[in-house]
Amino acid sequence: MHKATKTLNIRSLFDLVRASVRRLRSWHIYVSLLVPLLFLTYDLLSGGLGVDPMRAIEKSLGVTAIYILILTLCITPFSVLTGINFIRFRRAFGLMSFFYIILHFSTWLLLDMQLRWVEIAESLTRKPFIVFGMMGFLLLIPLAATS
């Protein structure tokens, strides 16, 4: 009897989550994924970014972009495993990830490198992870454009 009650509670929990997800709209995802940017803006305005705010902004935007990209890649397996349909939000997650990647790249290019092309070229040869980041960014452009 105890096992059946446990199963019933898990099923009712999944039903509750499914009903909540059905009520969600894409704009809810877009707005909620802007929250990290609001926190970053608050930290910037309140002086909470430390001694090198440009680096903190760059890192925060990059980490947020990676987290959202990983969430985007997990949507299909999560939907298959749980039966909860999050697939309709995959586009919103992907576009917001691309948005944060654009912000990260723009911060690096405009604030960090200040469009100094010689320094950018040197940075590409000294730091190979930047090359991989740029390749990933270039691969995501057609995905975002056709989304």
The whole-angstrom separation of Cα 133 and Cα 9 is 45
Per-residue pLDDT of the chain (147 residues; tens, 9 = 90+): 455 555 567 778 778 888 888 888 999 999 999 999 999 999 999 999 999 999 999 999 999 999 999 999 999 999 998 888 899 999 999 999 999 999 999 999 999 999 999 998 998 889 889 999 999 999 999 999 998
Contacts of 56 (CB under 8 A, 6+ apart): 43, 49, 50
User: In what helix (H) or strand (E) does residue 2 lie, and over which residues does it extend?
Assistant: helix 2-23
The sign one gets for the Cα dihedral 19, 20, 23, 27 is negative
The pTM score is 0.86
